Chains A and B, each alone.
Chain A
Amino acid sequence: MARINVLKTYKNFIGGKFPRTESGRYFQIKNGNEELLANMCLSSRKDFRNAVVVARKVQKSWQNATALNRGQVLYRVAEMLESRKSQFIEELMMTGLSKSHAKNEVELSIDRLIYYAGWSDKFQQVFSSVNPVASNHFNFSLLQSVGVVSVISPNDYSLLGMISVIAPIIVGGNTCVILSSEKNPMASISFAEVLNTSDVPSGVVNILTGKRKELLSHFASHKDVNAIIYCGDNNQEIKEIEHLSSENLKRVKIYKHKNWDHNSSQSPFFIETCQELKTIWHPNKV
């Protein structure tokens, strides 16, 4: 008797759990030949709201985890991804990528996680400074995480693009809520399974699937979000984000580039993007 394949139900990833969207809606992902690959949760603003609540709750403790610990956690994510390499290569190929391209993307993703894991206890030294001032103060500046970051993940490079954006965010002690690639969300949401089996605390990374058009305004306007990262080059969307973010002076970062496989897509400056510079005036010679 022919065996019936057991297909995976793709769901959201919020607070370390895999809930369906609160709205009960879905959309279809098809390959080039118009064949149905999967049904995806069409998340609503309420899913986003719930995700922000959990991201906020866990942010302080994640920020207070030692740099060493955050680095180890990222390294662990890379380990888990390595062990499930073949699954991700297959998933990327389903959406039309050639085998060599898919393999390259997954391997680069793993390397990128390792790259940022290494930076976890080093970026602080690079960006901090002792500042000369003309008074009796010891003046120094250091970085502190901004808090909760919302991310509109790149549409191309659904896995590598997303990892390249979130790894520098979380290594710096932020938590994030991500709208995965709208075009190919399968690998992005499967990555949640990797996060869930590594040591990332629940709620540090939350991934939603859905439509940019519907969720963009909420990602930008939510007042409990401290920064937003947008990957894309749609000028109208960028304008909307900048406009809505001004409401609570949210930090806005736009990544227009698309070469996520290039070495220029990894640098400690991606970490600095979601850091606040804190300067301390310490009196001396009292």
Chain B
Amino acid sequence: MSFPNLLTVPKIDKTGVEERVNRFCKRSIKNSSKTHGLHLALSMIDLTTLDGKDTPENVKRMCYKANHLHDSLQGIPKVAAVCVYPTMVKYAKKELKGTKINVASVATGFPSGQSSLDVKLSDTKFAVNEGADEIDMVISRGKFLAGEYNFVYDEIASVKEVCGKAHLKVILETGELDTLDNVRKASEIAIYAGADFIKTSTGKINPASTMSVAYVMLNAIKDYYKQTGIKIGMKPAGGISSSKIALQYLVMLNETLGHEWMNKDLFRFGASSLANDILMQLQRQESGYYESIDYFSKD
């Protein structure tokens, strides 16, 4: 691990990226592939609740949902993980005991990241000790925009250290980084500092994940893989609420990084309402009727 050479980071052609991304949205997908894609997307979801009003009870409810998405549909996968605040980790852990569903916890002063390093590290330690399998940290966007890249790098590296065995996902919060060039730079810093996953957004800022920023991040992963042979994962989060959008992301993933990335170990969706929309689609494919949300569990 070393600090990346930011002088060699490629400049991003914004128009080019948008043109390319538009093409991903126009692929025609046959029905059988669509079903397969929907199953895959479902298995990649980090079911998320990150509200100030979260209680142990609604975290329990969500965990039950993660484990029993829609029991009347045969052969559907479970979601990859649930994503909660550190204080909720122990409840989620207890509910998901014996399942293969991971517990992810946001940390480091989520969502703003405006706290001191000590607080951030102890926040992370707390989540890990409570049993979190994955840590979603936020970077210090203020420091990044002020040009203090070393600070951002060191911070990620220190958090990585206290994570231990837990996977580290680094949230860039691209909605606050302004330009695609910054997104690419932040991706490089996060990857070189030891991120296992890079993640677009907290979901608290608009715009959240867009196809363009995700495409730029996928390319950073691709270049890193070419240089080192190490596979970094990707997690778009926020704003991915329909099956259609999820399938477009999968098309983009497949055509950018290839099928080796098409699994939950290397790609996740951070979403809450996406799961129900996919279930409604799958149910429609089975029954032939358009569905009503009334027949599915509430998020």
Contact = CB atoms under 8 A, between A and B. Distances in A.
Interface of A: 45, 49, 52, 218, 221-224, 247-248
A49 B289 contact: no
B292 A248 contact: yes
B286 to A, nearest CB: 13
13 contacts: A45-B290, A49-B290, A221-B288, A221-B290, A223-B289, A223-B290, A223-B291, A223-B292, A223-B294, A223-B295, A224-B291, A224-B294, A247-B289
Given A222-B290, A223-B294, 19 more contacts: A45-B290, A49-B290, A52-B290, A218-B290, A221-B288, A221-B289, A221-B290, A222-B292, A223-B289, A223-B291, A223-B292, A223-B295, A224-B290, A224-B291, A224-B292, A224-B293, A224-B294, A247-B289, A248-B292
A45 B288 CA distance: 12
Contacts of A248: 292
Contacts of A247: 289
B19 to A, nearest CB: 21
Contacts of B289: 221-223, 247
Interface residues of B, number: 8
B143 to A, nearest CB: 40
Contacts of A223: 289-292, 294-295
Contacts of B292: 222-224, 248
Nearest to B283: A223
Which of B290, B293, B294, B295 has the largest number of chain A CB atoms within 10 A?
A: B290
A218 B287 CA distance: 13
List the 7 closest A-B pairs by CB distance, nearest first: A224-B292, A223-B292, A222-B290, A221-B289, A223-B291, A223-B289, A49-B290
Contacts of A218: 290
Nearest to B289: A221
A221 B284 CA distance: 11
A49 B290 CA distance: 8
Interface in B19-47: none
Interface string B271-299: 00000000000000000111111110000
B283 to A, nearest CB: 9
A243 to B, nearest CB: 12
B46 to A, nearest CB: 25
A248 B290 CA distance: 11
B64 to A, nearest CB: 24
Contacts of B291: 223-224
Contacts of B294: 223-224
Contacts of A221: 288-290
A52 B292 CA distance: 10
B29 to A, nearest CB: 14
A182 B288 CA distance: 25
A4 B183 CA distance: 52
A248 B289 CA distance: 10
A96 B253 CA distance: 56
Contacts of B295: 223
Which of A49, A222, A224 has the largest number of chain B CB atoms within 10 A?
A: A224
Contacts of B288: 221
Nearest to A248: B292
A45 to B, nearest CB: 8
A238 B290 CA distance: 20
Nearest to A223: B292
A253 B192 CA distance: 65
Which of A218, A221, A223 has the largest number of chain B CB atoms within 10 A?
A: A223
A26 B290 CA distance: 24
Nearest to B288: A221
Interface string B38-76: 000000000000000000000000000000000000000
A247 B283 CA distance: 14
Contacts of A224: 290-294
Contacts of A45: 290
B25 to A, nearest CB: 13
Interface in B211-227: none
A224 B289 CA distance: 10
A49 B291 CA distance: 10
A221 B289 CA distance: 6
Contacts of B293: 224
Contacts of B290: 45, 49, 52, 218, 221-224
Contacts of A222: 289-290, 292
A55 to B, nearest CB: 12
A91 to B, nearest CB: 33
A248 B294 CA distance: 11
Nearest to A244: B289
A155 to B, nearest CB: 25
A224 B295 CA distance: 10
